């Protein structure tokens, strides 16, 4: 067990750093030891030699001078080797201990980052690593991970709200259908007229569910895949085509319409851009007041093509304008008689898929102005 744990430590980043430091220190120490041994040998070789046959008295004994010199040289080299080996062991051991301690201290923030990442799940994205000291690369890594977790938490929250709202919107027509069927089928005296009335209600509820599912699929497809086809498109032609679909409802409500349609060429998906124009015009009609007004104009310059739809209506709080682009959000001042609150969400997704921007702002006196800007050809 102890051996396995030691092997695991050596395989880790701390163990590899320590091993690398020990090997480098050992290599340098060996080189220095060899150089010291060579230096002592060369220094001993340069000592002046006595004439051959010269005797030297050592401890009351006469010894040949050349033999004594060779013995002293060998002894000096041996002492260098012994001292070098002892120093080598001490230096390598100290390098290993120091490297292990330093890497432990340096990698401690990384261990905290790893522990936090292991604890994270879809239900605990609120945890953060927090600021680290010192302000080094690991601290910047921790900040980057915290920022990523903020984005992930926001995305998960948005997804939960989206699923909850979609479930609620789909449950409404299904509840209507089930209620109508239960009430009608439980009535033993129901006649053909009653069944026809039930069928009309069920068909209307099914059509509402179908429109909602189609809008959800379009929103998901636009967010995930972006623009699947790009070809020349004139926003003016797109607006004219989309207006024909909402003209009867606008005339029924007595809305005054002012259109200043100028050529506004761009590149993109014609069906998606027509859906953008259609959603804006539908919102302008359905969130309007009876007898209100709508202005639509398209323009283009060297870099961008613009579509602006302004309409009267209830007063819109400027602080709530960004929320209008969230799925299933209906502003407090909006007066639509139908819809699931996906219109502006689809507009934003489609415009961003075309590399453009969309913004909205309240109109003085009530209403909303939406501006779409896409790259021009």
CA 44, 50, 53, 54 dihedral sign is negative
Percent with pLDDT over 90 in the chain: 18
The tens digit of pLDDT for each residue in 332-357 reads 444 444 555 677 887 888 888 888 89
Say if residue 136's pLDDT is above 50.
yes
How would you class 278 by CB atoms within 10 Å of its CB: exposed for 0-12, middle for 13-18, buried for 19 or more? buried
The pLDDT of residue 256 is 93
The contacts found for 179-185 with CB under 8 angstroms, 24 or more apart, are: 180/205
Identify the pLDDT of residue 297. 94
pLDDT of residue 263: 92
Which pLDDT score is estimated for 254? 92
Q: Which residues contact 275 (CB under 8 A, 6 or more apart)?
A: 218, 346, 350
Give the tokens for residue 294: 């709508």
Give the Cα-Cα-Cα angle 88, 92, 96 (nearest 5 degrees).
Answer: 170
Report yes or no: 298 and 306 within 8 Å, Cβ to Cβ.
yes
Q: Is the dihedral of CA 72, 76, 77, 78 positive or negative?
A: positive
pLDDT of residue 316: 86
Of 79-83, 110-114, 201-205, the least confident:
110-114
Helix (H) or strand (E) holding 373, with range, is strand 368-375
Task: Average the pLDDT over 83-101 and give the result.
Answer: 87
Tell me the pLDDT tens digit for each residue of 42-56: 766 665 665 665 666
The stretch 97-111 carries a mean pLDDT of 81
Contacts of 146 (CB under 8 A, 6+ apart): 128, 129, 130
Task: Mention every residue, 6+ apart, whose C-beta is less than 8 A from residue 338.
Answer: 208, 286
Query: Where on the phi/psi map is residue 130: left (φ > 0), alpha (ψ -120 to 50), or beta?
Result: left
Which are the contacts of 99, defined by CB distance < 8 A and separation ≥ 6? 17, 18, 21, 22
Interatomic CA distance for residues 341 and 119, integer angstroms: 36
Q: Give me the mean pLDDT over the 302-322 stretch.
A: 89
Could you tell me which residue, 362 or 68, shows the higher pLDDT?
362
231-375, what's its fold?
Answer: Heat Shock Protein 90 (3.30.565)
| pTM of the predicted structure, to 2 decimals | 0.55
Return the higher-pLDDT residue of 47 and 309.
309
Q: Which of 3-12, 13-22, 111-120, 248-257 has the highest mean pLDDT?
A: 248-257
Does residue 305 have a pLDDT over 90?
yes
CA-to-CA dists, residue 111 to 96, 104, 117, 129, 150, angstroms: 21, 9, 10, 11, 21
**Picking from 136-150, 158-172, 282-296, which range would have the lowest pLDDT averaged per residue?**
158-172
Q: What is the mean pLDDT of residues 130-145?
A: 75
Give the residue-averaged pLDDT of 279-289: 90
* 17 has a pLDDT exceeding 70: yes
29: number of Cβ within 10 Å: 19
Averaged pLDDT score across all residues of the chain = 79
Per-residue confidence (pLDDT) for residue 334, from 0 to 100:
46
Domains of the chain by residue range:
2-119, 155-225, 231-375
Q: For residue 358, what pLDDT is reported?
A: 92
- Condensed to tens digits (0 to 9), the pLDDT of residues 245-261 reads 889 899 999 999 999 99
More confident residue, 133 or 192: 192
pLDDT at 317: 86
Distance CA 364, CA 362 (A): 7
> In the chain, what's the furthest Cα-to-Cα distance?
146
Question: Is the peptide bond preceding residue 134 cis, with omega within 30 degrees of 0?
Answer: yes
Question: How much is the pLDDT for 336?
Answer: 44
Average confidence (pLDDT) over 237-246: 90
Check: CATH 3.20.20.70 for 155-225?
A: no
Residue with tokens 């929103």: 219
pLDDT-wise least confident of 41-50, 73-82, 162-171, 196-205: 41-50
Question: Which positions ≥6 away from 320 have C-beta within 8 Å?
Answer: 331, 332
Is residue 265 within 8 Å of 232, Cβ to Cβ?
Answer: yes
Q: Helix 192-225 vs helix 137-185: angle between axes, to the nearest 10 degrees? A: 170
């Amino acid at each position: 067990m102890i051996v396995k744990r030691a092997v695991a430590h050596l395989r880790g980043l701390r163990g590899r750093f320590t091993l690398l430091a020990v090997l480098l220190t050992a290599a340098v120490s060996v080189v220095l030891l060899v150089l010291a041994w060579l230096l002592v040998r060369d220094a001993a070789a340069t000592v002046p030699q006595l004439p051959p046959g010269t005797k030297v008295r050592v401890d009351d004994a006469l010894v040949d001078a050349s033999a004594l010199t060779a013995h002293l040289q060998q002894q000096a080299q041996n002492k260098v080797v012994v001292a070098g080996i002892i120093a080598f062991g001490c230096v390598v051991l100290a390098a290993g201990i120091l490297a292990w301690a330093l890497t432990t201290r340096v990698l401690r923030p990384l261990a905290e980052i790893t522990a936090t990442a292991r604890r994270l799940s879809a239900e605990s994205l609120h945890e953060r690593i927090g600021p680290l000291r010192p302000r080094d690369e690991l601290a910047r890594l921790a900040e980057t991970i915290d920022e990523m977790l903020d984005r992930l938490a926001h995305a998960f929250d948005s997804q939960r709200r989206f699923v909850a709202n979609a479930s609620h919107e789909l449950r409404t027509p299904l509840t209507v259908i089930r209620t109508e069927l239960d009430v009608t089928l439980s009535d033993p005296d129901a006649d053909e007229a009653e069944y026809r009335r039930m069928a009309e209600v069920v068909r209307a509820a099914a059509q509402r569910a179908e429109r909602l599912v189609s809008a959800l699929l379009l929103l998901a497809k636009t967010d995930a895949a972006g623009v699947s086809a790009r070809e020349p498109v004139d926003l003016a032609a797109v607006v004219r085509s989309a207006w024909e679909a909402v003209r009867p409802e606008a005339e029924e409500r007595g809305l005054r319409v002012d259109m200043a349609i100028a050529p506004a060429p761009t590149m993109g998906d014609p069906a998606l851009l027509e859906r953008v124009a259609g959603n804006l015009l539908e919102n302008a009609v359905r969130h309007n007041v009876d007898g209100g007004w709508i202005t639509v104009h398209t323009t283009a310059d060297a870099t961008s093509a613009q579509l602006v739809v302004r309409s009267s209506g209830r007063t819109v709080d400027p602080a709530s304008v960004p929320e209008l682009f969230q799925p299933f959000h209906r502003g407090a001042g909006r007066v639509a008689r139908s819809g699931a609150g996906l219109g502006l969400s689809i507009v934003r997704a489609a415009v961003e898929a075309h590399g453009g921007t969309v913004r909205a702002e309240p109109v003085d006196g009530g209403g909303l102005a939406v501006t779409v800007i896409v790259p021009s050809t």
